[in-house]
């Protein structure tokens, strides 16, 4: 790829815009019919991966939030440990939110490939 230009015009017929994983950029692609099934299955695998990641980190966040609640309620845990739990819960929520955004992008892309 030697030339990058912003989308200042409509996407040409037969092309679709795809998000670039890990970035807020989008790229315009034309998928040949012979490759469409492989492309779609790859997107579905990525979608499942990010859904699993989202669930995993939501679980971590809930676990650490419960630890924070219990620690404050019991009062027998040092404040710096509670802060550590809060930080871990916050970080896990951030990862889960990032995975959620990626899931939405992939779902949108799958809808585009279906049409």
- pLDDT score for 85: 95
Distance between CA atoms of 53 and 65, rounded to whole angstroms? 18
Query: Does residue 31 form part of some domain?
Result: no
12-61 tens-digit pLDDT: 677 777 777 777 777 777 778 888 888 889 989 999 999 999 999 999 99
Secondary structure element (H or E) that encloses residue 28, with its range: strand 26-29
Query: Does residue 56 form part of some domain?
Result: yes
pLDDT greater at residue 51 or residue 115: 51
- Is the pLDDT at 68 greater than 50? The verdict is yes
- Is the pLDDT at 2 greater than 50? The verdict is no
Query: Does residue 19 form part of some domain?
Result: no
Query: Does residue 75 form part of some domain?
Result: yes
Residues 6+ positions from 57 with CB-CB distance below 8 Å:
92, 93, 95, 96, 99
How many domains is the chain built from? Answer: 1
pTM: 0.73
Query: Does residue 100 form part of some domain?
Result: yes
């Amino acid at each position: 790829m030697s030339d990058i230009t912003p989308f200042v015009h409509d996407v040409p017929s037969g092309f679709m815009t795809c998000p670039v994983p890990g970035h807020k950029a989008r790229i315009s692609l034309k998928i040949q019919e012979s490759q469409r099934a492989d492309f779609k299955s790859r997107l579905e695998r990525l979608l499942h991966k990010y859904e699993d990641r989202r669930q995993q980190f939501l679980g971590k966040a809930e676990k650490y939030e419960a630890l924070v609640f219990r620690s404050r309620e019991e009062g027998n845990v040092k404040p710096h440990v509670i802060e550590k739990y809060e930080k871990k819960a916050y970080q896990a929520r951030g990862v889960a939110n990032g995975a959620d955004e990626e899931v939405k992008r992939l779902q949108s892309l799958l809808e585009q490939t279906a049409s």
